[in-house]
Structure 1
């Protein structure tokens, strides 16, 4: 199959989101941060393609203003905040980039490389050729926060870029991988060992095979759920996303959920007393007229009601 890093990562985070995005191709409004990141990358690429002559800073800012869409943002205040961030990032980029001093061999380099029986696709922001056969990948980031060196060293996407450069430039013997954080005007670099490159190949192949075999595409809770553009469709999130758009009257379902939560709290209060009795009597099962309570190997209590 043909697959990208983004698709692999999406599937591992949440199979249902993968289905919505890559199989069903559900259209959703563009999120402000995606628009912003895409526009900053567009302006940076506009400048890099002029190398070895860097356009004036004012020209980059003018390009940015011309493409700006304030209506994508929730409020004028949010739009201004992002716009100010963007101007600052472009000033950082302009002051840091010295045209003609680096041998830029490619920008926005698309690749399609074989990995096992699969085809891995992607795009690299920038590739420089360094002295003595070395290459450097530069990936521009608009993130608000900086990752640690350890996080960069473990970054799977950078390992995929290493694999792509090896395939595209066979003479590349030494490959440096750099994340350039425009907001902070800071760079973090890393490299990959041969065993790490083999590991990313296994990751790609194994994940692609899981996708090919998947039939259910169940949702998976993760730290990004609150920001997911498919929350209104997800069975784990759509109640929060859509409010009380359900068949029951709001007060009825609220009472039902409230009673359910209170019942679980009561169970949590009673369980220690049951465990205490089981320990004292050295038993693991209690026969009651209403049913049987059993304590399993993991100390979990289960109930079998009498028929």
Structure 2
């Protein structure tokens, strides 16, 4: 039996779509850049703080302010990687305070039944490659799962990025559809929706579930500022995941590059012969 790269995660799929060669450097060549980032540290602090808070809420139906803040304080952001003014720590604390007061997105989870926190999953998608039956294994964790007032499941992913997703990203992103399929495998029902909770921005974006995008739904989403976004349909998502898996296992294809301004921030730009020469303008 041939060896295939069939153990994936959403982050792997997303990185491959961004640039196949960058994915190859990391997951095939296993080149570890050992780059640390204050933003990764900030994201870790926020996720740990929220994880602790939601476990408290699930187990006791209360929130412990002192313990929540201690979780943030223990993951130092002040000087570890350069947050000398404490800006990121302040943002993390503000998000904890919004949860304590059930403000913004957190209004949605007040008095709701919490089903899962950092819920682990292994989604299996069968396919064929080179005449062999292969299982694509997509592993990951879902930040939060709860039931809404209609007794429908809702999945949540906490985002610590500095901007929201645009319409196309929300329509084409595979993260929420992967969560939908994983939830169906575990609970026997598809969620009502998936929510991106942008903790730094005090806002959220919701994508509704549908098995297949209809012409009517497409027409509504094609408007300049659509009120409703449906996540990519399940059948279409599986098809894209299978094609991505096949491209990952195509030695020629995975060496292709997608030069863009993102190359400037790439950990592998020094060893990539096709990296873009774009640089940000210097501030005067």
TM range (shorter): 0.7 to 0.9
Task: Please say which structure displays the higher CA radius of gyration.
Answer: 1
CA–CA distance in structure 2, aligned partners of residues 237 and 193 of structure 1: 38
Pairing 1:115–2:143 present = no
For 1:49-95, what per-residue CA distance to the aligned partner results, in whole angstroms no more than 9, with x for missing partners? 11243333333222211111444424624xx2222222222222322
Aligned to 2:56: 50
Shift in Å, 1:173: 4.8
* Per-residue deviation, residues 242-300 of structure 1 (Å, max 9, x unmatched): xxxxxxxxxxxxxxxxxxxxxxxxxxxxxxxxxxxxxxxxxxxxxxxxxxxxxxxxxxx
1:193 equivalent in structure 2: 210
Q: Summarize the Cα distance change of 1:179–1:100 in structure 2 as closer, same or farther, 3 Å threshold.
A: closer
Contact 2:124 2:136 in 1 (8 A): yes
Counterpart contact for 1:90–1:182, Cα < 8 Å:
no
Residues 184-206 of structure 1, C-alpha deviation per residue, up to 9 Å, x if partnerless? 32222121321211111011100
What is residue 17 of structure 2 aligned with on the other side? 12
Change (3 A) 1:73 1:205: same
Q: What's the counterpart of residue 66 of structure 1?
A: 74
Q: How many residues align?
A: 238
Partner of 1:179: 196
- CA deviation after TM superposition for structure 1 residue 131, in Å: 5.0
* CA separation of 1:91 and 1:223: change in aligned 2, threshold 3 A: farther
Shift of 1:135: 0.6
- Where does structure 2 lack aligned partners over 5 or more consecutive residues? 1-5, 127-134, 213-232, 280-284
* 1:226–1:131 Cα change, 3 Å: same
Report the equivalent of 2:230: none
Higher helix share: 1
Mapped to 1, the partners of 2:138 and 2:20 lie a distance apart of 19
Structure 1 residue 225, shift from structure 2 partner: 1.7
- Secondary structure of 1:194's match? coil
Q: Distance in 2 between matches of 1:130 and 1:179?
A: 16
CA separation of 1:100 and 1:125: change in aligned 2, threshold 3 A? same
- For the 8 Å contact 1:30–1:72, the answer to whether it is kept is no
SS in 1 for 2:31: coil
Q: Where does residue 251 of structure 1 map in the other structure?
A: none
Q: Which residue of 1 aligns with 2:258?
A: 220
* Deviation of the 1:142 alpha carbon: 1.4
Cα–Cα, structure 1 residues 111 and 223, in superposed 2: closer, same or farther, change >3 Å? farther
Q: Can you give the 5+ residue segments of structure 1 that lack an aligned partner in the other structure?
A: 242-307
Q: 1:33 aligns with which of 32, 39, 42?
A: 39
SS in 1 for 2:56: coil
Q: Find 1:211's aligned residue among 248, 262, 270.
A: 248
Give the equivalent residue in structure 2 for 1:165: 183
- On the 8 A contact 2:38/2:77 being kept in 1, the answer is no
Counterparts in 2 of 1:44 and 1:225: CA distance versus 1, 3 Å? same
Cα distance change, pair 108–95 in 1 and its aligned pair in 2 (3 A): same
What CA deviation, in whole Å up to 9, does each residue of 1:127-157 have, x standing for no partner?
1123555110011111222334564343321
Kept after mapping to 1: 8 A contact 2:155/2:191: no
